[in-house]
């Protein structure tokens, strides 16, 4: 609500008290600058002849959108035509591309690519609501793709071996001859160590010794058990 109005220069200054009656405002946003929202006052400078409006909340300067305090003053002033300068192009269909893209113009490959991408994207956005024009633009792009294939042919796929040979500068011989090495040196133990399973399967892996008297090859055979000695 408006509290007071005073004349300044060629306009008026309104003092607006924000009552905070808007239901969309949550409770945690009802406190501004350590005070309840209904105790905060804003000053709106209004110059209808110059179509100039400025509020101390600085919402337009910060976000590019007019605050509700200015809309309240416009409604009080009975302005029939909304000032066009407060409708920024960023909120319209004719929004400008980023400044970095506009300034990037030159003959370097990166800048040329940026200009091409920007122009194609711009044309697509312009033709988005015109199906016939969009189809013609599509056909034109297909023709450009065919011309690009004719101007810069796609190289044939090369064999991996040929590509490696061209990089190394050495061709692969037709016949590969591998000679047997003259001497093989085995590091560590020259005898393979058997596992526990192999040892359990063949417990008598060692060569048995024959008893000298009867020439028996039994493991548990000795002089006391020898029948040949007992019979003699």
pLDDT at residue 146 in the model: 92
pLDDT range class, residue 232, cuts 50, 70, 90: low
Answer for the pair 74, 86: CB distance below 8 angstroms, yes or no: no
Question: In the numeric block, which tokens belong to residue 222?
Answer: 């000795």
Mean pLDDT for the stretch of residues 94-122: 71
pLDDT tens for 142-166 read 999 999 989 988 877 778 888 888 8
pLDDT at residue 106 in the model: 60
Mean pLDDT for the stretch of residues 201-221: 62
pLDDT range class, residue 83, cuts 50, 70, 90: confident
Positive or negative, the Cα torsion across 35, 39, 43, 48?
Answer: positive
Residue 10 CB neighbours (<10 A)? 10
214 vs 87 pLDDT, higher one: 87
């Amino acid at each position: 609500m408006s509290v007071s109005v005073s004349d300044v220069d060629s306009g008026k200054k309104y003092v607006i008290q924000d009552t905070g009656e808007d239901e969309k405002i949550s409770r945690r946003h009802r406190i501004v600058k350590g005070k309840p929202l209904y105790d905060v006052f804003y000053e709106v400078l209004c110059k209808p002849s110059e179509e100039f409006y400025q509020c101390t909340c600085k919402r337009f300067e910060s976000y590019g959108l007019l605050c509700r305090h200015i809309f309240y003053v416009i409604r009080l002033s009975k302005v029939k035509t909304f000032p066009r300068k407060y409708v920024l192009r960023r909120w319209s269909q004719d929004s400008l591309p980023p400044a970095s893209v506009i300034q990037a113009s030159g003959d370097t490959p990166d800048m040329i690519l940026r200009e091409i991408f920007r122009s194609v994207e711009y044309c697509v956005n312009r033709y988005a609501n015109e199906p016939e024009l969009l189809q013609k633009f599509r056909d034109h792009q297909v023709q450009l793709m065919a011309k690009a294939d004719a101007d810069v042919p796609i190289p044939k796929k090369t064999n991996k071996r040929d590509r490696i040979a061209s990089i190394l500068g050495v061709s692969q011989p037709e016949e590969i001859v591998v000679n047997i090495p003259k001497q093989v040196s085995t590091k560590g133990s020259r005898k393979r160590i058997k596992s526990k399973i192999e040892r359990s399967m063949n417990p008598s892996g060692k060569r048995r010794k024959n008893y000298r008297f009867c020439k028996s090859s039994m493991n548990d055979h000795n002089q006391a058990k020898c029948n040949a000695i007992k019979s003699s």
